[in-house]
Amino acid sequence: MTDVELYKQILSLPPNLKKEVLGFIASLKLRANLKPKERQFGCAKGLIEMKPDFDEPLEEFKEYM
């Protein structure tokens, strides 16, 4: 059975049986002892940007300083 055939079969099920299929898949994964993918160092590089004024005091806290 191909992935597409399996997907079509799941789509044809009523919602309550789809939930059962989801639970069954979860139990199969546990039984197979599948490990999640390891995080790869540096995979988020370039996604986060620090502003040049990051360390500057905030206007809202001027009266406390």
What does the pLDDT look like over 4-56, one tens digit per residue? 999 999 999 999 999 999 999 988 888 887 677 788 898 888 888 888 988 88
The domain segmentation of the chain, as residue ranges, is: 1-34
Q: Is the pLDDT of residue 65 over 80?
A: no
pLDDT tens profile 18-31 = 999 999 998 888 88
The CA distance from 12 to 21, in Å, is 12
Q: d(Cα 64, Cα 62) in Å, to the nearest integer?
A: 5
